[in-house]
Amino acid sequence: MTTQAAKQLETFPNPNSARDYHIYMEIPEFTCLCPKTGQPDFATLILDYIADEACVELKSLKLYMWSFREEGHFHEDVTNRILDDLIAALNPRFMRLTAKFYVRGGIFTNVVAEHRKTNWQPAPFVELSQFGSQSNIRG
């Protein structure tokens, strides 16, 4: 295989930086090693973000995620490290990383880490009724 895991995250210019829009990614095959036992830990990562000037390029994100397969990390550590690396590469308006680790010893672990750019506020959420006749604004 010529493709290798890498810590380098590549970006591309946000095609509509004037608008806040939600980018949602599910990464269902994340793995790292337990730092105590060396056994593999499996997780689904959910990345939610609102880009500012840059978006993450998907192939580089995949190779970045692969780079943790042979590394030992506590769940809390790896979740915050990934979020910090993504923030450093993208400088997003908002970013949330949810790591849903599969059961180990009868315990599921979910770690949620979040970043909000200074002075950024989300626009009010608009919820349309299923019939399209009304809208409700939540603030």
Q: Is the pLDDT of residue 136 over 60?
A: no
Q: What is the pLDDT of residue 138?
A: 53
Residues 6 or more apart whose CB falls under 8 angstroms from that of 68 comprise 30, 31, 32, 78
Q: Which residues are catalytic?
A: 34, 41
pLDDT (tens digit, 9 = 90+) per residue, 20-55? Answer: 999 999 999 999 999 999 999 999 999 999 999 999
Q: Which of 97, 92, 56 is nearest to 76 (CA)?
A: 97
Inside any domain, residue 128:
no
Going by their DSSP bridges, the two strands 40-50 and 94-104 should be labelled as antiparallel
Inside any domain, residue 131:
no
Inside any domain, residue 138:
no
Q: Is the pLDDT of residue 134 over 60?
A: no
User: Tell me, what CATH number does 32's domain have?
Assistant: 3.30.1130.10
Domain that residue 44 falls in: 11-117
Inside any domain, residue 139:
no
pLDDT (tens digit, 9 = 90+) per residue, 85-127? Answer: 999 999 999 999 999 999 988 999 999 999 999 999 988 888 8
Domain count, the chain: 1
